[in-house]
Amino acid sequence: MLEVTGLNKVYEGHGRRVEAIGDLTFKLADGEFACLVGPSGCGKTTLLRCVAGLLAPTAGEVRVGDRVVDGPPDGLAVVFQEYGRSLFPWMRVRDNVALPLRSPDKRRLVDEALAAVGLEDAHDAYPWQLSGGMQQRVAIARAIAFEPRVLLMDEPFAAVDAQTRAELEDLIRQVWQRLRVTLLFVTHDIDEAVYLGQRVIVLSKSPTHIIDALDVDLPAERDQLTTRSAARFTELRGRVYEQIQQAKLGR
Ligand SMILES: Nc1ncnc2c1ncn2[C@@H]1O[C@H](COP(=O)(O)OP(=O)(O)OP(=O)(O)O)[C@@H](O)[C@H]1O
């Protein structure tokens, strides 16, 4: 379980005070997939950093499992937008994926994770020999190999082309269904949020609070063509779009 309660975050320093997160409370059940959307600068990355234990909240708390987060929690992995910066260029793909692993079973975990993202032929390559989409697959494979209970993703597909993005979206749905991981996925793309999530949480502009949380009652089996052309998909994306417009106006 992932539980955020009364979270508030104020950045202070150099004569500047920014209240990034106003007051956030929400909960994800084990194995739930929720997407967070909100206007640019509303505090999404700040929230993920607090959940990942990389940043201390000003008030409130985050719990992962039964523990209050006060540093990087066990069993939690993060995939960032900038795959270029999260992979080490001097390490081969397999070593990048093996990096966080302590298990004696490292080799099998790396093999399985690279196969799961369709990169079984890239073990010996260096990240800079791969396309952007492939590099992001490596970053996803590293998270999978770690077998996390909670996975945080911060706009992981923002820097790849549209076609690769669609492929990676489907890959993430498969990974989530297979690992039964609790997944919190940040995106500024409304369609992506509705396509991927079981729930979409819409954030206000900063200082952030939740303005809407809607259940995505689309069938669990999703595909780019059928799901995106379903009437219910259009309805849901319309509702989120409206909420975001309101949020930008400062509701
Ligand atoms: N280290 C920091 N020091 C001071 N202010 C910060 C810091 N990090 C973020 N902020 C401020 O906090 C607010 C929220 O930023 P954050 O990056 O969390 O938003 P975001 O929703 O992830 O943005 P985007 O969608 O543009 O990526 C912004 O006003 C930002 O300027």
Name the token pair of 6.
């009364």
Q: Is residue 22 part of a domain?
A: no
Give 55 Cα–ligand 1 centroid separation in angstroms: 12
Reported ipTM: the value is: 0.95
Number of compact structural domains in the chain: 1
Q: Is 30 helix (H, G, I), strand (E, B) or coil?
A: coil
Give 43 Cα–ligand 1 centroid separation in angstroms: 5
Give the ligand 1 atom nearest the CA of 208: 14
Give 206 Cα–ligand 1 centroid separation in angstroms: 9
Q: Is residue 58 part of a domain?
A: no
> What pLDDT sits at residue 133?
86
Question: How far out from the chain centre does Cα 45 lie?
Answer: 10
Residues 6+ apart with CB under 8 A from 240: 37, 190, 193, 194, 200, 202, 212, 214
> What pLDDT sits at residue 170?
92
> Distance (Å, rounded) from C-alpha 142 to C-alpha 136?
10
Name the token pair of 214.
């809607």
Say whether pLDDT at 84 is over 80: no
Tens of pLDDT, residue by residue over 186-224, are: 998 999 999 999 999 999 998 999 999 999 999 999 999
Give 197 Cα–ligand 1 centroid separation in angstroms: 24
> Distance (Å, rounded) from C-alpha 67 to C-alpha 149?
13
Q: Kindly report the pTM of this predicted structure.
A: 0.93
Higher per-residue pLDDT: 66 or 183: 183
Q: Is residue 231 part of a domain?
A: yes
Q: Is residue 4 part of a domain?
A: no
Give 19 Cα–ligand 1 centroid separation in angstroms: 10
Q: Is residue 227 part of a domain?
A: yes
Does residue 39 have a cis peptide bond before it, meaning omega lies within 30 degrees of 0? Answer: no
Ligand 1 cavity residues, CB under 6 Å: 11, 18, 20, 38, 40-46, 188, 206
Q: Is residue 44 part of a domain?
A: yes
Say whether pLDDT at 250 is over 80: no
CB of 137 within 8 A of CB of 171?
yes
Domain holding 179, by residue range, is: 32-51+69-203+210-248
Pocket test for ligand 1, best of 8, 9, 10, 11 (most atoms within 8 A of CB): 11
Residue nearest to atom 18 of ligand 1 (CA): 43
Pocket test for ligand 1, best of 7, 16, 17, 46 (most atoms within 8 A of CB): 46
Beta bridge partners of 108: none
Q: Is residue 23 part of a domain?
A: no
Give 41 Cα–ligand 1 centroid separation in angstroms: 5
Name the token pair of 44.
């999404």
Q: Is residue 6 part of a domain?
A: no
**CATH code at position 74:** 3.40.50.300
